[in-house]
Every structure is written in C-alpha cells, then in structure tokens.
Structure 1
C-alpha cells in the first residue's frame, strides 16, 4: 500500500526542539509522539493537540503542536510521511500541596524515569493536579482521546481519604478494567506493609491508551510500577492490535 504523503506550512523558521502550532487538516490522526519524516529523517514530532474555538465569521480549527526535530526553514514542507517510533507516556501527580507549590513532586518524575528505562519511549509529558476528580477525568480523556498518549500513569489519591479520588476518576472513563495488574500491585505492596489493604488503585484501558493508578510515595511507586513493568510493552502492543499469540513469556 502506498505511503500517504502530507504537507505542512511553516510561517517562520523553527529551531531544533522549538515547538510550533500547525493547522492539521489531514484525515490521518496523529497520536502523541508520532513523527513526520522526509527522505532525510524526522522533521516534526507531534507533542500536543487542541481545538481553537470558532467565531461567527470563522470556523474553529484543529491545531496540532509539534516539536521540531531539526532546524527548519519557513515555507511549505511536502512529501512528509508518518512514522511511529516508541511509546508516548504521561504521568499525572495528584497532590493538593504539590499543586499549591507547598511540596516538591518526586513521584511523577520517578514514573517517567522508570518507564524510560524499561520502554522505548518517544515522548514523556508530566502534569501536577490538585486532588480533584473532575479535573482528573477531563485530563485522562484529553490525554487518551485528544492527545493520543499510549500510557498514562497517575500517582497519589488511591486510598480512602476524602480527597483520594484517582480510582473514582479512572473508573468513570476506562472501558476495560485490568484486575490482574491491580492484584499484582496490591500483592507486591502487601509484602511490605498491611496498609496496602486500603489501596483502591485501578488499571484499565481507554481507547488505545493504558491507564494505571499508583500510590503517591516514591517508595510505593517503585514497588507497584516495578511489578507491572514487565507486562507493559506486551499490553500496549496487544492494545494497538498485535495479532501474535499471548502464550510466550
């Protein structure tokens, strides 16, 4: 099947690593981390997406945020093809104190570090939110449906305190629950502390995205994420349509 070719218009020069918004009108959707390449290699990497509201005289636009993979000159870039290399990941830390700047978040960056060591990661994004269910639900849906992030990991808010809402928000949006991952994390934590009995951490899928809740402490992040790491690549591959059998190690 012939490779679909795309073109983008750059209004000004863009330096390597700089981000630029492009009016993406092509039918082919781009998941976060996807590359647009020419014959010389990667040109742009999709790193975000948002809808620009319209006005009575002007319709809204779908703007895709790209990161330049090399220095780019202004003008029309033609003959670009899409490539997927690696997985896009996002960590989301839930912390009222962190969101107010009263606590430094170490759990979220640790998630990004661990995933980068064990997966072929093309793009990592991080978010810090207060313990608010509606905000988390909206972000999870945007990351999965809007941005097309492959793996979304939350930290914090998995217990029974009044502001522990990560599982509640996740259950409202996921389509397929993964109780095996949940049991594995609980079992690993119970070997360290009986307090793990009150964890309500959830794992499941939304579209082509895998969502996993982790506790908020760096120690618990290492334990719980560590026990599911060996299954993540296989899970993502199956979620994206890998037809191979699951019987192998």
Structure 2
C-alpha cells in the first residue's frame, strides 16, 4: 500500500515525529513560569522602549516576550524533528547524543544538523569541523556533513576555508543544504518538498486523533506576575523590574 504522506518514510514514523514535536511545544508553553521567565533577567529598559515606541500595552508586551522565549526553545525542537524524520529513512539512524545527529548504519555517513545556517559562531564552526574531520579519519569510507536545513542556497560541496585564522579542509568533510541532504538520504530529489507539502495534512490528522492535553497550563508567568501586582499595586513592568533588579541602587523604591 502506498504511503499517504511522503514516499521516503512510513506514515507511522511521520506521525510519531509530529507527536514528539507537539509534546515539545506543550512542554515549552507549560515551562514559562515566572521563575523561568526571570531566569535570564528581563531587560525592562528595552521593554519600556518597546511599549512606548511600538504603542503596545504592558500585558501584550509581556505576552510577546514570553512567546519569544517559547520560540527560542521550539527552534531547538525543530532541529530534533528533522533528525527524527531523517533517522526514519532506511539504512540511517539518529545519533541519540552519540556525538553525531544522523549516521548511516554501515558507518559510511555521519552528519551534524543545524536548523539554520547562521546558528554557529566561529568557535563553534571550528569545533564542528574538527569533530567531523575526526569521524572521517576514524571511518575511512565515511563522508561527513554539516547540514544546514534552512540554507542560503542549494549546495553540496567540500567544507574548506579559514576559521579563526586557520585553514581547514578535508576531502570527505562537506557542507550541504537541507534539500540536498534529504535528497541524498532518501534518493528522491524532492524529498524535503514532499515533507513540506504533506505537513498540513499530517498535522491535521495527528491533531484529530491526539488526546486533548487537559493538564497543560500555558504561560503561567503572566498570571503569576499579575497576581503580584494586585498586592503590590505596581504596574506589570514595574513589578518585573522590582523582582529582577530590586537589589539595584534605588530600585527598592518601586
């Protein structure tokens, strides 16, 4: 029987990957308590400018900041989604914290997957090249890839050049765009396009069959902060500033 969604992985595997990502979304939403929201210190001076220059009320402003934190967490989960999808292709598997993200079961391919092309600084790029080169040296038949799912072009070529003032090159270390990597593993040039076109239908089918998550309390941070303002009589922004910087000189007067 033909697959319902894409040709290169089973329908069951695709739906499982969607389910895992959905759970990551729910965890991210549920994880933004006041404590977590404050964990990296909120820039309330920037938020003051945002509120005034963009004419945003404080409730909406804090909600958008919470959503920004959720989005940062979800970006990591999107990379994991691609790893899981690709790991479902015959003859390939997910690394599971083994130092690589995807490998061929016969050790002829190792790959590190980044969702976006610009997620690494020069030190991270240097460390990644060195890691891939070690795999290539240890496994003489292996080709090793830095995969950029969202790249600035469509490419598959040797990764060589200057990183942190040093020249790097290796005959079996490559940079590859997401479309080309999906094509390489699946043997189908349009594999990533197939996934893109199938996702709305597959997600709808998953959501229709998924059990409702009654215990998810989304974004409790704003409720917690608002509860504090009812007692302190501060504005939301003043409350956040006090709770983040009350130990700064003069800020105890808020």
Q: Bigger radius of gyration, 1 or 2?
A: 2
TM bin, normalised by shorter chain, reads under 0.3
Comparing both structures, which one devotes a greater share of its residues to strand?
1
If the length of structure 2 is used for normalisation, what is the TM-score? Answer: 0.25
